[in-house]
Each structure stands twice: as C-alpha cells, then as structure tokens.
Amino acid sequence: QQQVKQSPQSLIVQKGGISIINCAYENTAFDYFPWYQQFPGKGPALLIAIRPDVSEKKEGRFTISFNKSAKQFSLHIMDSQPGDSATYFCAAATSGSARQLTFGSGTQLTVLP
Amino acid sequence: SAVISQKPSRDICQRGTSLTIQCQVDSQVTMMFWYRQQPGQSLTLIATANQGSEATYESGFVIDKFPISRPNLTFSTLTVSNMSPEDSSIYLCSVGAVVLKNYGYTFGSGTRLTVV
C-alpha cells in the first residue's frame, strides 16, 4: 500500500520559473513531512521539512505548503535554476517509536537554461 | 547533522556471493535504518537496525537474505547474501535524530551494487 503519493513523475521548467511538486498521504498519524533532493550518485539530502501545526514553511527559494484537512503537501521552488535539476522525494514519518520515513515515488526535475 | 561514511561506494559482484556494506556515523545515534533504491525508483525501507538486539525487518525483507549488525551507536553493517541480479540496487544507510522536536534524517552516499 503506497502511503505517500507524489506527482508529477517528471517536470521540466524554464530557468526562473516556479517548480511545483505535490504529495498526498493517507496515514493521519504522520506528523513530520520532509522533502529530499537527490543528485545522481548521491544519497538524498534534506531540503526542508514541516510539521502539521503550520500551513507553510519557507527557506530561501524553497517553500512547503501543507493542507492538513486535504492530507496534501507540496514543494514550491521559486526562481528555479539549472542547478536545481535533481530528483525530489517527499516523505512522511510518525512520532511512533520506529519513526521510519515513508517516501513518495520521486519527481525528476529538469530546469532548462 | 550527523556525517555518515558508507563503504564500499560501489561494487560489482558475482551471483551467489555476499557483500557486506558498512555504515559509520560520526556521533552516537539512536535511530539507524537501511534502505534500498532500485534504479530510477524511490527508497524502500529494508530494516531498522537496533543497537544490542535483532534488526526489525519490513515486509518483503528477511534476516537470512539481509543480515544486519549494530554493535554500537555509531556503526552498522548490512549484508546482501546469496546475491542475484535482482539485488542490483543502491543501498543506503540512514540515521535519525530528534533535535528540538524536529526529526533530522541523514543519508549516506549509498553503495551502488551490480550483480552479474
């Protein structure tokens, strides 16, 4: 059972544009929602994360929007740059003792120069 | 955040053999996990490595195939046993920590395994 659904699978954006990636979850026990960026040959690196007590979090050009009632959250990359070209994963975790991350399927972002 | 050293970074192995992957962390961590990432795919949790006790495996993964050790709070190993080409994947070590009620999960750079 896929608990975190991510879309789109791939995204092409012009330099300077806005990249938007969406995720939806099913498990209402999730209370931690990070986004990871992965370059080829590297492990995922944490970009930004949010907890359900806020609706938006911004760090530089990256913003997470969170809709608890809809069980959806999204990543917005403002002023997208070619260096942002990577695979992005949303994830979710619970406060339970295990606290494992459940990942979305990933979005391959290409920012054209 | 913690710094993870994962070895080897890549390997090409013959089918039927075993490979042990090492994960060394620069600080003591409670939560330690092993993931598999098949080519072009997302990350799938294999198991949670528990210090001083047996690892906890996710559905579809068994100890005989993926034995895990965690002798202390800074080190763990994952062995991929009796390998077949289907085991060709990237294997990633991850650690988690709770800092000021925020969870931080850090990943190693991964081990790219090719089974021929």
The DSSP call for residue B99 is E
What mean pLDDT comes out for the span B104-112? 89
Q: What average pLDDT does range B9-21 have in this prediction? A: 97
Model pLDDT for residues A84-99, shown as the tens digit of each residue: 999 999 999 887 655 6
**CA triple B29-B32-B34, angle to 5 deg:** 155
3 state DSSP class of B3: coil
Please tell me the distance in Å from B18's CA to the nearest CA on chain A: 22
Place of tokens 């938006």: A56
Q: How far apart are CA B28 and CA A46, in angstroms?
A: 20
Q: What is the DSSP string of A46-57?
A: EEEEE-TT-SEE
- DSSP letters along A32-83, please? EEEEEEE-TTS--EEEEEE-TT-SEEEETTEEEEEETTTTEEEEEESS--GG
pLDDT at B101: 53
Of A44, A99, A104, the CB nearest to B103: A99
At B42 the pLDDT is 92
The mean per-residue pLDDT over the stretch B57-84 comes to: 95
Mark residue B101 as left, alpha or beta (left: phi above 0; alpha: psi -120 to 50; beta: remaining): left
Per the CB < 8 A criterion, the answer to whether A27 and A95 are in contact is no
The pLDDT of residue A98: 57
pLDDT above 90 for B110: yes
Average pLDDT over chain B, rounded to whole?
91
Q: Which residues of B touch A93 (CB under 8 A)?
A: 103, 105
Q: What is the pLDDT, as a whole number, of residue A36? A: 95
For B112, nearest residue in chain A (alpha carbons): A41
Q: What one-character DSSP code corresponds to residue B29?
A: -
Asked if the model's pLDDT at residue B98 lies above 70, the reply is no
From residue B105, alpha-carbon distances to A34, A88, A98, B65, B84 in Å are 9, 15, 13, 25, 30
Contact list in B for residue A103 (CB cut-off 8 A) is 42-44
Q: What is the mean pLDDT of residues B79-100?
A: 88
